[in-house]
Amino acid sequence: MEDLSLSTLIWLRMVRFVQNSNQLSHDHLRQFGLTLAQFEALAHIRNFQPITQTDLARGLTVTGGGISRMLTRLEDAGLISRQQDWKTKHISLTDEGAELLEWAYPSQLEQQASLFDEVLDEDEQTELHALMKKLYENSLARRADEERF
């Protein structure tokens, strides 16, 4: 196997961390009867409701078909409502959806924060946050450049 650059090793480690973090979240959210994707959708709906299906899919980076199937499941479970306004569907949380998210959200945040709090001190967390912000902003700039062509 060829020697990998430090940049490549960092990228691989980040990918593995995100995958593991997502699996831990998925396992954690099972107690609330939610998948990670459903949790993220409910949280996004709560923050932007009423939101269109198109804007929700864009905010979650999910395909139109994928979001439609997920929303059908959430609607069947009584967690969201979809209101048709001419050609546009607006999505909002039901009282049951808001209550479930109010219960699950702090628990999920605590679970995720513990991944950092258990191994990084405050200075390390501050430095990691700054580095991740720098990487994220660069990735956004590169996407914007690529979308122009």
Which tens digit of pLDDT belongs to each residue from 98-134?
999 999 999 999 999 999 999 999 999 999 999 999 9
Per-residue model confidence as pLDDT tens digits over 2-25? 789 999 999 999 999 999 999 999
What is the pTM assigned to this prediction?
0.83
Residue 63 has pLDDT above 80, yes or no: no
With a CB cutoff of 8 Å and minimum separation 6, the contacts of 93 are 42, 45, 46, 49, 79, 80, 81, 101
Residue type, 10: I
d(CA 88, CA 41): 18
Per-residue model confidence as pLDDT tens digits over 86-95? 888 899 999 9
Q: What percent of the chain has pLDDT over 90?
A: 77
Cα radius of gyration rounded to whole Å, the chain = 18
Spell out the domains of the chain, with CATH numbers in brackets: 6-118 (1.10.10.10)
Residue type, 25: S
Residue 1 has pLDDT above 60, yes or no: no
Mean pLDDT, rounded, of the chain? 92
| Closest C-alpha to 33, from 104, 116, 124 | 104
